[in-house]
Structure 1
Amino acid sequence: MTFDVAMYATIAERLRWDDLELGRFRTDRLSDGALRCLRYMSDVETHTVCYLRDLLVTPSHTDPEVTTFLTLWNYEEYWHGEVLDQVLEVHDVPTGPEHTRALRKRLGWQDRVSPIVQSVLANLLGPDFIATHMAWGAINEWCTHAGYSRFIAVEQNPLLTEILRRIAKQETRHIAFYNSQARHRLELSPRAQRITRLALQHRWGIVGSTVMPDDDVRHLLTYLFGGSHGLAAARTLDAKIDTLPGQAGLHLVERELQRYGVV
């Protein structure tokens, strides 16, 4: 199934939450574990513009459909971070520009070198890199969507549930684009399948693991994917990855749970 980028451009929008009374969180507070996860998710959503920076120096920037999507994707992700920040503020958790600056500063020289390294490698690989980018994006969006679904199930807070459902609804469009593009490009190129498989085997980590401290990654994975229900959700994600051309049997998500000692 193809994704209509032109249609998406007409319906992409900022997330709305002005009809919700976030002040209700003052009496129906989230758990400390939930707030730590929310802080993680907010930081990752806010970091989307930095991922976009890295991608625009690769062959992906030559495809107008891809760049149109990325522009709108970044816009929608920005508002996801904003609403999560507002929930955190109600709980007196510091947010805002100073927090974001500190996060980016903490990444140090690796953050400055990353776009250069990625640009060189991606441009040496050529157009097949776009297939890797699309597959990587599909997997990350699947994981993000599953993370929000697990968050709803674990915390069971009605107001948080409504917010996360609205975010997840927009994430389904992001999934549709990446998934459609990845399948099409991988099917066309056995070389792209090999490059993508190698990249995923050796470089992929759970969303946010390149930005957040290991202790925070471990907490998130334990909170969302710990126990039998969490492991089942992780294996469902791995089964989805198996359906991408040439990517069967990677077990990426369960491998991350093992890496961080969750299972």
Structure 2
Amino acid sequence: MAFDVDSYASSAHRLRWDDLELDRFRTDRLSDGALRCLRYMSDVETHTVCYLRDLLVTPSHRDPEVTTFLTLWNYEEYWHGEVLDRVLEMHGVPTGPEHTHALRTRLGWQDRVAPMVQSTLANVIGPDFIATHMTWGAINEWCTHAGYSRFVKVEQNPLLTEILQRIAKQETRHIAFYNSQARRRLAESPRARRITRFALRHRWGIVGSGVMPEPEIRHLLNYLFGGTDGLAEARRIDAKIDTLPGLDGLHLVERELTRHGLR
């Protein structure tokens, strides 16, 4: 079923948390492992605007449906980062502009060069690049949604559960857009399927791996996807990827668990 961009545009909204008593975290505190994961997730959500920057210099910016979606996707993701920051603040973890500036500065010259490299490659590829972008987005959103769902099961904190479920509800619409676009564009173009498969096999990494240090990636994956239940969730995501035209058998998520030291 095609995604209704106009309906999404009219209903996209800031995530609400003003009705929640976040002060409860001062006494009902999260575990250290959970806070470390929240720091990772907040940093990645806050970095969404930088991903948007990179995408707007590619052929994706010429498609009005895509740009409408990306504008509102970025808006909703911004508030996801904000609520996670509020939770971190309740635990005395530093957040805010200074932390975000330090994160982006740490990326160094690679962050400055990335938009130019991506723009050059994407515009050489042409419109078929949009299929790769949409597929990449679908996989990242599947992983993000699964991560929030696993977080709820692992930490089992009622207030955190409510926050993460609200975020995950918005993420389901992001998934619907990317998935719909990816399926259509991959089905229409054999060249798009070849390019996308090559890009995923050689360049895709777990969400945040281009931003976060290796110890933090390894911790997040162990916390959320360690053990048999976590591996089963990773394989469920890989099974979804298998259903996309031309992308069966990649085993991307399970490969990432192995690459970062999970057994």
After TM superposition, the score normalised by the length of structure 1 is 1.00
Report the 3-state secondary structure (helix = DSSP H, G, I; strand = E; otherwise coil) of the residue aligned with 2:261: coil
Report the 3-state secondary structure (helix = DSSP H, G, I; strand = E; otherwise coil) of the residue aligned with 2:145: helix
Q: Which amino acid aligns with 1:116?
A: M
Task: Say whether 1:236 aligns with 2:236.
Answer: yes
**Take 2:92 and 2:240, find their aligned partners in 1: how far apart are those partners?**
38
Aligned twin of 1:200: 200
Aligned twin of 1:176: 176
Aligned twin of 2:77: 77
Task: Say whether 1:52 aligns with 2:52.
Answer: yes
Matches within 5 A, 1:49-198: 49-198=49-198
The CA RMSD measured in Å over matched residues stands at 0.3
Q: Provide Cα deviations, 1:45-87, integer angstroms capped at 9, x if missing partner.
A: 0000000000000000000000000000000000000000000
**Take 1:244 and 1:115, find their aligned partners in 2: how far apart are those partners?**
27
**Take 2:155 and 2:11, find their aligned partners in 1: how far apart are those partners?**
30
**Which aligned segments of 4 or more residues in structure 1 are displaced greater than 3 angstroms?**
none
After TM superposition, the score normalised by the length of structure 2 is 1.00
Matches within 5 A, 1:32-43: 32-43=32-43
Task: Say whether 1:258 aligns with 2:263.
Answer: no
Q: Provide Cα deviations, 1:219-247, integer angstroms capped at 9, x if missing partner.
A: 00000000000000000000000001000
Q: Provide Cα deviations, 1:89-130, integer angstroms capped at 9, x if missing partner.
A: 000000000000000000000000000000000000000000
Q: 1:262: how far off? A: 1.1
Q: Which amino acid aligns with 2:120?
A: V
Report the 3-state secondary structure (helix = DSSP H, G, I; strand = E; otherwise coil) of the residue aligned with 2:2: coil
Gaps of 5+ in 1: none
Q: Which amino acid aligns with 1:94?
A: P
Percent identical: 83
Report the 3-state secondary structure (helix = DSSP H, G, I; strand = E; otherwise coil) of the residue aligned with 1:95: coil
Q: Provide Cα deviations, 1:117-172, integer angstroms capped at 9, x if missing partner.
A: 00000000000000000000000000000000000000000000000000000000
Aligned twin of 1:245: 245
Report the 3-state secondary structure (helix = DSSP H, G, I; strand = E; otherwise coil) of the residue aligned with 2:6: helix
Report the 3-state secondary structure (helix = DSSP H, G, I; strand = E; otherwise coil) of the residue aligned with 2:100: helix
**Take 2:155 and 2:41, find their aligned partners in 1: how far apart are those partners?**
15
Report the 3-state secondary structure (helix = DSSP H, G, I; strand = E; otherwise coil) of the residue aligned with 1:211: coil
Q: Provide Cα deviations, 1:195-235, integer angstroms capped at 9, x if missing partner.
A: 00000000000000000000000000000000000000000
Report the 3-state secondary structure (helix = DSSP H, G, I; strand = E; otherwise coil) of the residue aligned with 2:18: coil
Q: How many residue pairs end up in the alignment? A: 263
**Take 1:261 and 1:113, find their aligned partners in 2: how far apart are those partners?**
29
**Take 1:252 and 1:115, find their aligned partners in 2: how far apart are those partners?**
24
Q: Which amino acid aligns with 2:23?
A: G
Report the 3-state secondary structure (helix = DSSP H, G, I; strand = E; otherwise coil) of the residue aligned with 1:221: helix
**Take 2:156 and 2:52, find their aligned partners in 1: how far apart are those partners?**
33
Q: Which amino acid aligns with 1:159?
A: L
**Take 1:32 and 1:242, find their aligned partners in 2: how far apart are those partners?**
35
